[in-house]
Structure 1
Amino acid sequence: MKQIIQQIKNLESINSLSKHEQLVHGIINSIDERLVMKGDLLPSVNTLISELGFARETIAKAYKELVHRGIIESKNRLGYFVATNDVKQELKVALVLFAFDIFQETFYENFRKGLGNNIKLDIFFHHNNFETFENIIQNVKGKYGLFVIAAIPNVKTPTVLKQLPTNRVLLVDRFVETDEDYNYVAQEFRDSSYDAFVKLKDKINKYQEIVFFFKPLSSQPIEILNSFKRFMENHNINGVIKDKYISGTLEKGKVYFTIHNLALWEMLKDSKIKGFKIGTDIGFISHNDDIVKEIIFDGVTTFSTDFAEMGKKAADFVLNRKKIQEIIPTVLIDRNSL
């Protein structure tokens, strides 16, 4: 620790540096010169006050900046530790997603591109498993400067998120109600789903029945299910909800709605095998748009948010740290599958 303090003292002769900058650069220089390595304990705030005579606020501010940049990490009641030997890293970001579905890949590609090359990005997947989500947050806290999180809608989620600094968290994909003033770039499901169903009502009524495949206790938004039920009740729509599609059970005269892409591909395959004309004999609606749905079978009708735009806005937050609380609109794309 004496070597670290000496590194800080060596910068006192540089008049252009503030005490805050002396502390930051002194610790960075100590790591760069391998005086301390990843995992090593740094001097406590009280030690630095005693050795340097700097104000407590100045030292705390310097340590917070180094944590923000991902260079050091804070361990509760144990102190500050070196988090990386790569001191040239400007910022270290933890990205926590549900999984790497095609729409989340679109988000990631635009997010990664928007960040540029000077930011270290680590990605984690919780697969809608709350225990996994909780463990990820536990493992990343104190080790990253920013946290971009697709959180699981769960009553326990706000408590888990409180382990992280509120101003360093950006919630993406799902909006989660909490008591904290988090930044977010998210999509909305309840009203947008209902509006999409209503706009498609006349086309849906061409068919005898609409079948919605919804898997309980999955990552599929419960708000879409509730909107579907409200749509059927308010507009006297003949429909049914099933938990999964069974291969070969496709029936003429029905329209099928699914959130799950694998079920959609299976149904499209079966419609081809059975010789059904899509948009006439049978109809399809899907959630979350992508290029495949735009071109396959002359286009599948979808309603979806713009995940590319969400990724760009998330990257802008990381780079500029401007407060953002925005719901990305959901857009209905009416194609030939109805």
Structure 2
Amino acid sequence: MNESNIIQAIFKIDGRRKEPKSKQIINSVAEAVKKEILQIGECLPSLNNVSFELDVSRDTVQRAYVGLCDRGIIESVPGKGFFVKAKPSDSALKILLVFNKLTAYKKSIYNSFMRMMNTQANIDFHVHDYDPNRFDQIIKSSLDNYDYYVIMPFFYHYDKKILDIFKLIPKDKLVLVNKDVQFLDYEYPVIYEDFENDICEALLPALNEIRNYNRIVLVYPLDPMSNREIISGFEHFCKGHQLNHEVRIGMSDISLEEKELYIIIDDDDLAEFIKLCRDQKLNVGTDIGIVSYNETVLKEVLAEGITVISTDFAYMGEKLAWLILSKEKVKIKNPFRMIRRKSF
């Protein structure tokens, strides 16, 4: 059988399916190895030939081959090509991933986690949207179906209903992400932000420059689910260093003054604040200072660069995958830092 016939017989692609074509290639090659249609030690068709025969991009084929390498099914031999290494394992993990909401920041966690897990897990994704009833439905309908339950535990109240739902999840299968809790009395893995202490640690290296401002204002969003630990951390930092400060809830009735530094959590508030600066002809970074929460690509260019204090969301997704694959029951504080730009 020539290489063209091998590709058509083994590499199955269906453009009507929502599943990525790279994953379809992974699954079809894995199945061919499992059924011994492809033998251990056999050389796979080249990236270019598979790309041509299937009418898909070379990058798609390369992602599939890398995925097969990650699973240990094939291996790359420099200068020679890709060769079948071993039969696939049927031990892919089943993971239930439950977020509170899906924002740009949460998408970074999700994408990084999915990339690191690759084909080592089958992952179902849900959003509880802070709703205990929705969370209850998700968990009860999934019991005994998963190896791990990865939960982002943000809720309005940690009442008895929430605690009872968590009790349904097997202790050895629970993993928390983005936030830790205080109500579980057993060891579990978690990668988390320390919202109260993070703001102190991020601002401390810039303390001397902060002292040049007449006042520091934390603009806290109206959203009741924003982490109030940020307020207590901000006040602890300012009081500890004898800084004139204020906490404002939302942007209403804010009166801007020169030589003030504003720490703004919500991106909508940030946009409104910058427009207000323009209306009052205050130059961001010289007349008035801005520090925003959570890094995005847009903040690199907005108003010639907005200084941010932010956790590393991609790293959080990577470490989440590591917690599961390593089976380590440890608590990891995710890195948090200031990224300096012209706004401060």
Instruction: Tell me the TM-score normalised to structure 1 length.
Output: 0.66
Contact 2:96 2:149 in 1 (8 A): yes
Instruction: Tell me the TM-score normalised to structure 2 length.
Output: 0.65
Shift >6 Å, 4+ stretches: none
2:212 maps to 1:206: yes
Alignment CA distance shift 1:95-1:331 (3 Å): same
- Partner Cα separation in structure 1 for residue 142 and residue 276 of structure 2: 44
2:244 maps to 1:238: yes
Question: Tell me, what secondary structure is at the counterpart of 1:107?
Answer: helix
Output the amino acid matched with 2:339.
Answer: I
2:113 maps to 1:111: yes
2:178 maps to 1:173: yes
Contact 1:111 1:311 in 2 (8 A): yes
- Partner Cα separation in structure 2 for residue 222 and residue 103 of structure 1: 18
Question: Tell me, what secondary structure is at the counterpart of 1:162?
Answer: helix
RMSD: 2.5
- Partner Cα separation in structure 2 for residue 249 and residue 314 of structure 1: 42
Alignment CA distance shift 1:129-1:215 (3 Å): farther
Deviation string 1:146-194 (CA, Å, 9 cap, x unpaired) is: 1111112654344431210111111000011220211111121222212
2:151 maps to 1:146: no
Contact 1:145 1:168 in 2 (8 A): yes
Output the amino acid matched with 2:292.
Answer: S
For 1:182-201, what aligned pairs fall within 5 Å after superposition? 182-201=188-207
| Cross-structure match for 1:254 | 260
- Partner Cα separation in structure 2 for residue 291 and residue 326 of structure 1: 26
Deviation string 1:191-241 (CA, Å, 9 cap, x unpaired) is: 221222333333333333222122467222222110111122222222221
Contact 1:115 1:318 in 2 (8 A): no
How many pairs does the alignment contain?
251
Alignment CA distance shift 1:128-1:254 (3 Å): farther
- Partner Cα separation in structure 2 for residue 217 and residue 279 of structure 1: 27
For 1:1-338, what aligned pairs fall within 5 Å after superposition? 90-117=92-119, 119-152=121-154, 154-156=157-159, 157-177=162-182, 178-215=184-221, 218-246=224-252, 250-338=256-344
Output the amino acid matched with 2:143.
Answer: K
Contact 1:259 1:286 in 2 (8 A): yes
Question: Tell me, what secondary structure is at the counterpart of 1:225?
Answer: helix
Alignment CA distance shift 1:131-1:259 (3 Å): farther
Contact 1:208 1:253 in 2 (8 A): yes
Alignment CA distance shift 1:185-1:205 (3 Å): same
Contact 1:130 1:152 in 2 (8 A): no
Alignment CA distance shift 1:246-1:183 (3 Å): same
Contact 1:128 1:218 in 2 (8 A): no
- Partner Cα separation in structure 1 for residue 338 and residue 289 of structure 2: 16
Output the amino acid matched with 1:174.
Answer: K
- Partner Cα separation in structure 2 for residue 262 and residue 139 of structure 1: 36
Alignment CA distance shift 1:315-1:247 (3 Å): farther
Question: Tell me, what secondary structure is at the counterpart of 1:302?
Answer: strand
Output the amino acid matched with 1:170.
Answer: V
Gaps (5+ residues) in structure 2?
1-89
| Cross-structure match for 2:6 | none
- Partner Cα separation in structure 2 for residue 98 and residue 200 of structure 1: 32
Gaps (5+ residues) in structure 1?
1-87
Question: Tell me, what secondary structure is at the counterpart of 1:210?
Answer: strand
Q: What displacement does 1:281 show? A: 1.0
Contact 2:92 2:119 in 1 (8 A): no
Contact 1:285 1:302 in 2 (8 A): yes
- Partner Cα separation in structure 1 for residue 286 and residue 294 of structure 2: 23
Contact 2:221 2:250 in 1 (8 A): yes
Percentage of matched positions with identical amino acids: 26
- Partner Cα separation in structure 1 for residue 158 and residue 343 of structure 2: 38
- Partner Cα separation in structure 1 for residue 223 and residue 238 of structure 2: 22
